[in-house]
Amino acid sequence: MEIRTEGVSLLLDKLEMIDEEQRLEKNEIDRILDHPDIKLWLKAYDWIEDREDKFKEILIGLSEETSYESEVEEQKIEDLWEKKIDYGLRKAIEDTEKMLSSLETIKNFDWESTVQKALEYLPDDTELDPELVVTIDGFNGGMFRYDTAFLSLVYFDTSLISEGTFAHELHHMGADYWWKKDPRIQQFQNTEDKQKYYLVNLFTYLVGEGIANAFCSPQAITEIEGKDSEKHNQMVRYYEEKREYIFDKLEELLRRVLVYPVEDVSDLYSEFTMDKENKGIPPGHFLSGKMVQTMDRSSSVSQDEIINLIKNPFEFLEVYNKAAEESGTRKFSKELIREVEDLLERS
C-alpha cells in the first residue's frame, strides 16, 4: 500500500510560515498547487467549479485574521466547501505540531492489517492495491475518489485510531474494483440519461456506504465513549430521531428517479448523500449503515448475501426488505421494487 505524504508535508511547511506571520509568496503558492498530491486532492472535488482558483484564494487569505467558523448552518454546498477548507487549513496553522504527530502515526500504522479488514467484507477475489493521499481537508475527513483514498489530518484523532476507520475508505476501493467490471454500472454512470445515472449512483451509494459503515466503521453510526464523544453522540441521536424522515427522503428520491423524464433531483440527491447540515456524516451514510445492520441481524439474510450486493447493488432493496420483514421495521413497497426491476429490464 502506498501512503503519499509529500504534498501534505509541503503544505504544513508553508502553513507554519503563516503561523510565524510570514505571507506566502506567489511562487510558494504555485509550488503548493503544482504538487501532484494537492492536484489529486483537488481533482476529487471536480464538482466544485474553479476549485483550484478558489483554493488559491483561500491560501492567500490565510494571512488575514478573518476566519470561517466550523459550525455553519445549512447553505449552498459550494460555499460550505470553501468555508470548511479554510477552516481546516487554519486548524493546521493553530496546531502544526499535532498535525505532524498525527502524520507520523499514519506513516507507522499497520496498513496491511487494514487492507485485510477491508477484504473481509468484500467478495472473494477482490484485487485491492490501495493508494492513500494524506490531506488537510476541513470538508471531508476521509473519502474515495478516482482509485485513491484520501485521509485528512484535520479530523484525525490518535485516541480513536482503528483499522476499521481506515478500512472504510479502502472498502470503497474494493467495491469500485467490481463496479468497474460491471458493464451495466459503467454504461449507466457514463450516460447523459439522468434516470440511469442517478439510479446506478444511488444504489452503489447505498451498498458502498451501507456495508462500509455497518462492518468496517460501525462507530461512525453508533454512540461512543470518550472525552470528545458528545458531539458525535449528538449526531447519532439526531439521525436516530430523524430516521423515518430520512427514509422518506430516500423513497422520494427513488420515486423521482423512476419517473421519466427525470426532473432535477440533484439537490435532493446531494441532501441525502452529503453532510449539508454539518453533522459529521451525511444522512444517507447513517441510514444505509443502519439498513445493512438490520440485514446483518436477520436470520434470513447471510453476511455473504450482504457482501455479494457489491456484485449486484440493485438487489439492495429486496434483500433489505427480507430482513425488515423479519424484524418488523419499515420496508419499501413492492410497487417501488417492481418499478426498479422494470427499469433495469428495459435498460
Q: Which residues contact 55 (CB under 8 A, 6 or more apart)?
A: 33, 42, 85
Q: Is residue 316 part of a domain?
A: yes
Q: For the segment 70-115, what is each residue's pLDDT rounded down to a tens digit?
A: 454 556 888 989 999 999 999 999 999 999 999 999 999 888 899 9
Strand partners, 150: 133, 143
Q: Is residue 10 part of a domain?
A: yes
> 340 and 311 in one domain?
yes
On whether the CB atoms of residues 11 and 38 are closer than 8 A, the answer is: yes
The dihedral sign for the CA sequence 123, 129, 134, 138 = negative
Instruction: Provide the grid cell at 77.
Output: 454546498
Q: For the segment 151-184, what is each residue's pLDDT rounded down to a tens digit?
A: 999 988 776 677 777 899 899 999 999 999 999 8
Strand partners, 328: none
* Side chain identity, residue 60: I
> 237 and 137 in one domain?
no
| Three-state DSSP class for residue 127 | coil
Boundary of a domain, candidates 164, 196, 213? 164
Q: Is residue 174 part of a domain?
A: no
> 147 and 59 in one domain?
yes
> 284 and 211 in one domain?
yes
Q: Is residue 172 part of a domain?
A: no
In this predicted model, which residue has the larger pLDDT, 245 or 147? 245
Q: Which residues constitute the domain of residue 32?
A: 2-164
Smallest CA-to-CA distance from 128 within 215, 1, 40, 217 is with: 1
The dihedral sign for the CA sequence 320, 321, 327, 331 = positive
Instruction: Provide the grid cell at 247.
Output: 427514509
Rg (the chain; Cα; Å): 21
Boundary of a domain, candidates 164, 192, 227? 164
> 246 and 136 in one domain?
no
What is the pLDDT at residue 190?
79
Q: Which long-range contacts (CB under 8 A, 24 or more apart) does 299-308 make?
A: 299/326, 300/325, 300/326, 306/211, 307/121, 307/122, 307/123, 307/211, 308/123
Q: In the chain, what percentage of residues exceed pLDDT 90?
A: 71
What is the pLDDT at residue 76?
80
Boundary of a domain, candidates 137, 164, 191? 164
Q: Is residue 176 part of a domain?
A: no
> 334 and 191 in one domain?
yes
> 282 and 215 in one domain?
yes
Dmax (CA) of the chain: 63
How many domains does the structure of the chain reveal?
Answer: 2
Smallest CA-to-CA distance from 7 within 138, 96, 136 is with: 136
In 34-145, the DSSP E strands lie at 131-135, 142-145
Q: For the segment 316-329, what is each residue's pLDDT rounded down to a tens digit?
A: 999 999 999 999 99
Tell me the CB-side half-sphere exposure of residue 342, using CA atoms within 13 A.
Answer: 9
Lowest model confidence (mean pLDDT) among 75-79, 256-260, 308-312: 75-79
> 145 and 19 in one domain?
yes
> 316 and 239 in one domain?
yes
> 157 and 202 in one domain?
no
What is the pLDDT at residue 14?
92
Which range scores top for mean pLDDT: 5-14, 75-84, 223-232?
5-14
What is the pLDDT at residue 206?
98
